[in-house]
Chain A
Amino acid sequence: MHLDSAQERMMRGEVGEAKQFAIEIATKVGDAVGADELVPIKSAHVLAHYSSLHDAGVEVLERFADSGGKFAVPTSVDPASIDLQHWRSFGITEDYARQQFRLCDAYAKMGGMRCWTCVQYQVCNFPKEGETVAWAESSAVVFANSVMGCKSNKITAGMDVACAVLGLTPRFGMLLEENRRAGVVFRLGLKGLTDLDYRSIGYFIGRGAGARVPVLSGLPPSVTSDQIKHLGAGAAAAGPVTMIHFPGITPGSKTVIDATGGETVEEIEITRSALGEIEADLNQFSGLPDLVAFGVPHLSVNELGELAGMLEGRKLRKGVRMYAYTSSQAYDMAERTGIAEAIEQSGARLSHSTDAEISPLKALGFRTVLTNSAKLAEIVSSEGEVKVGYATQREIIERVTG
């Protein structure tokens, strides 16, 4: 990989230890994937939650922070493994919280935005169309490439911080126009889509696309950015998908032909029975759960308002917890507008700055989780310790409230 003179100086350690460590990581990864150079980024999004970073990740982030590392571009952060405000009341132990707060401190020391959300694009990180970014969080990468028209690879833990410290990322993969062209068409002819359908459609695409970039035609014009957020999250959970062309939504792709560049590619019909198979696969039980989890990825304040409406006049059944996960910013707005109170009157709780899939669910005593998130269902069942149920938000509320 070609380095310019400023980058050579970083490599020699003349610009500090943190930049040297960062550029070593970035160039080794760049060389591995055939990148020709490091290019500037406009923003970064990094991971700093203990459940997935483990002790190794604490070592890495502290090494960056303690050697003087500072983020060179606006940098946001994924949710923590605990609600940073109310963690005690959620049953988190001191020892667990301590490791999470080590990550929080290291991240803050480096100058990151303390948003603690997986939907930074709805909260605080707003690059423009055409800009190159280096984001972790698989669902956010799909949103950046597919809706915002940004260019991002799915930057994974360790490399995310390196790119943020450098303000640079190796040029390869989704940064190159030729790799962004759609290589498989998914056709949707179904009407009256539920919240669960959007997630299952995403999951189906993620499974079927393999390494190809998919294009999805047939979404209703009324589709919301929240629905696309959940669709993309389902896709990224099921496979290596980093972008989905949505004709009419994705910048540069007004039509399927724009997305494929006119090439003839495989076409796959999304049928009701295919979605039924996804639901059956993700749904492992049908009884009353220990926990209902909404908000993987984080719910927007609009979605919290909808949830409050559905819970009106209902009470959670005994023995069932219901947590709605959101960003700290949406939480604040929900608090100020009465939405939080409306949700909590049912016995449900709002939780911010964390999310279900990165919480220590088993350690908190949950053996069964019910959700409308394909991403959460995939992750929880992958770990194999907690059983997961998968149903629409309406079905779930009817099942667990009186």
Chain B
Amino acid sequence: MTAPVLDVRDVTKVYGQGETRVRALRGVSLRVERGDYVAIMGQSGSGKSTLMNILGCLDVPTEGRYLLDGNDVRHLDEHQLSILRNRRIGFIFQSFNLIPRMSALANVELPLAYGGIKGAVRRKRALAALDLVGLADRVEHEPNELSGGQQQRVAVARALVTSPALLLADEPTGNLDTRSTRDVLDVLDRLSRAGRTIALITHEDEVAARARRVIRLVDGEIVEDSVR
């Protein structure tokens, strides 16, 4: 196990042209090893969402290289990127982003379906993932029948069901109350202890306090990278 999960080399991202040109990232370099638990912090406008999009292969850097699990994403076409997202990355969004009118189980099964995994295996793995986040008794509930914390835990199950190299969480507790926040963070802690690599974007100190390593972004540059 040599290659780091994340290897970001001097990445810049520029939006727009001329007058409206915005440099969202100005030369960010970052390595995250397997099993690490990283919190990326910063004010809004600091470029953390841009970084998140690039890390999640939803966007490509303007300059610099980004290797995910040893794969350079620069030369991948859209189809290959979608496969990469499916196999290597598990997304957790601030607003849960479960698909409405689909049961928790169906939501968790979805990435496996796109990954081409057959029905029976898929169901077993999805149930196992839901069990891991403590929702084994809610599998047939639809998102609108679940509380915010439960929805986010379904989203976590969906993110980890494909056994991705990286769990990418974008403000996972931004829409949650204190108790649900604690539930979700506990799940993430457990996953981290089990060896999962987690990158978590947040602006809350108490959330970042759970991570092993904290990276601060200001104006598109890393100003602090501390391991606790």
A and B bind: no
